[in-house]
């Protein structure tokens, strides 16, 4: 999502002119990040459509089980969204933190990007799915990640937006008040402490909330993206050093993945796994983000990633609506009283293809004719005012 809710069609890390303390990788247009957003949203859609939202048959054919297993890691698209969001939002905040309209610009622009479509989704859920009023009220207040104890049906994707909005309440203040070096230390602290806090909560030693959706237990992914945004705005962020950082991050992710497989730490069903499981992907996604910054605008890569960039363009709407698409398909075409004893690969792929095509078209229209109206208001109502001091002066 941004992130789950991207700033604009073309990803911009900053709307301000670059300073000598920006890495050459930071440009006004970074299509590689749009492609990563497309990867993230498609991974989530495949997870829900090919693994999570399967009819209750007694068995699934071997081919169907294989496809379901391949789609099961798709939930990691949310983690990739968080890394992207931490990077993009921190970049915008850093580059505007000395501007006189810092607060008004940030929160007004975020509201115009996120709230209109979000409110429309909540209204549709109320009218079509008849979700409970208390649940929807909590969602409206961006508290969906604290609704696990409520009775009744939930809408599974809304907790991630709650995490991001809660992050937006605290992080702009820290960026405004703290020096860049102190911010980097805060990010490193989150990356180190989050697994420990998840373990304490999952094991029951110190109940701190759901280890998979409570904001203060999942901030390590947001912090990783934020740390990259900070580092790329220092004078030491030369291309050779960034490439070394990319390599080290990728190797660390691979090493942690091997450790997790060896020690059986990649399952969230145990406390050790709940703590450790996201860590390899945090480093792998950080490396992927840096690679996207360096190579995303290369002509060949740009052409090959066109479809992914399109899905990055509609990612916010697709993320919000795809679960509703699967529900509509089930209500229209699936008779739960006559589910066959075995589900074969064909019906699974047919349903997935129909829902993906339908929601893709719907979300493209939403982006073009609904969301764009509010996006155009951003620069009219709250244009960014150029900062009067560079990042160096605040270090």
Phi, psi for residue 28 in degrees, rounded to 5: -65, -35
Residue 232's nearest CA partner among 4, 14, 8 is 14
pLDDT at 153: 76
Half-sphere exposure of 76 (CA within 13 A, CB side): 18
Q: How far is CA 344 from CA 78, 203, 243, 347, 378, in A?
A: 28, 39, 45, 6, 48
Question: What gap in Å lies between CA 308 and CA 288, rounded to an integer?
Answer: 15
The pLDDT confidence band at residue 56, using thresholds 50, 70 and 90, is: low
Lowest mean pLDDT among 158-162, 182-186, 303-307, 327-331: 327-331
Contact residues for 333 (Cβ-Cβ < 8 A; gap 6+) = 351
- The domain ranges of the chain are 31-394
Question: What gap in Å lies between CA 140 and CA 163, rounded to an integer?
Answer: 13
Question: What gap in Å lies between CA 339 and CA 301, rounded to an integer?
Answer: 44
Question: What gap in Å lies between CA 395 and CA 94, rounded to an integer?
Answer: 12
Q: What is the dihedral sign for C-alpha 28, 384, 226, 216?
A: negative
Q: What is the dihedral sign for C-alpha 123, 125, 131, 136?
A: negative
- pLDDT tens sequence across 327-361: 999 888 876 566 677 778 888 899 999 999 999 99
Share of the chain above pLDDT 70, in %: 89
Can you give the pTM of this predicted structure?
0.91
Residue 75's nearest CA partner among 98, 97, 52, 104 is 52
pLDDT at 61: 82
- pLDDT tens sequence across 266-291: 988 899 999 999 999 999 999 999 99
Residue 71 confidence (pLDDT) above 80: yes
Residue 124 · residue 139 · CB < 8 Å = no
Residue 395 · residue 180 · CB < 8 Å = yes
Residue 16 confidence (pLDDT) above 70: no
pLDDT at 68: 87
**To which residue do tokens 């360096």 refer?**
294
């Amino acid at each position: 999502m941004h992130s789950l809710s991207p700033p604009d069609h073309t990803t911009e890390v900053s709307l301000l002119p670059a300073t000598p303390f920006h890495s050459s990788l930071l440009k006004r247009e970074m299509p590689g990040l749009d492609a990563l957003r497309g990867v993230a949203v498609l991974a989530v859609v495949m997870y829900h459509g090919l693994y999570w939202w399967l009819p209750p048959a007694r068995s699934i054919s071997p081919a169907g089980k294989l496809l379901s297993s391949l789609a099961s890691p798709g939930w990691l698209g949310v983690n990739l969204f968080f890394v992207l969001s931490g990077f993009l939002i921190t970049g915008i905040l850093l580059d505007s933190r000395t501007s006189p309209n810092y607060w008004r610009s940030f929160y007004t622009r975020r509201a115009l990007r996120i709230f209109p479509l979000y409110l429309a989704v909540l209204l549709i859920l109320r009218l079509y799915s008849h979700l409970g009023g208390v649940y929807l009220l909590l969602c409206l207040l961006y508290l969906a990640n604290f609704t696990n104890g409520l009775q009744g049906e939930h809408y599974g994707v809304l907790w991630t937006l709650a995490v991001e909005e809660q992050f937006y309440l605290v992080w702009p203040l820290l960026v405004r008040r703290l020096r860049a070096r102190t911010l980097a230390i805060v990010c490193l602290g989150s990356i180190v402490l989050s697994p420990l806090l998840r373990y304490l909560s999952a094991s029951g030693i110190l109940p701190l909330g759901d280890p998979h959706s409570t904001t203060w237990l999942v901030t390590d992914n947001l912090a990783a993206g934020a740390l990259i945004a900070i580092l790329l705005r220092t004078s030491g962020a030369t291309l050779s050093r960034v490439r070394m950082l990319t390599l080290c991050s990728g190797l660390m992710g691979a090493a942690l993945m091997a450790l997790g497989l060896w020690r059986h730490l990649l399952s969230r069903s145990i406390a050790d796994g709940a703590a450790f499981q996201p860590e390899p992907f945090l480093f792998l996604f950080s490396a992927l983000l840096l690679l996207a910054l360096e190579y995303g605008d290369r002509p060949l890569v740009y052409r090959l990633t066109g479809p992914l960039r399109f899905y990055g363009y509609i990612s916010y709407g697709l993320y919000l609506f795809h679960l509703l698409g699967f529900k509509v398909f089930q209500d229209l075409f699936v008779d739960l009283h006559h589910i066959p004893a075995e589900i074969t690969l064909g019906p699974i792929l047919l349903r997935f293809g129909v829902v993906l095509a339908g929601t893709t078209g719907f979300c493209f229209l939403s982006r073009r004719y609904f969301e764009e109206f509010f996006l155009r208001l951003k620069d009219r109502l709250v244009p960014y005012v150029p900062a009067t001091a560079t990042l160096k002066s605040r270090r």
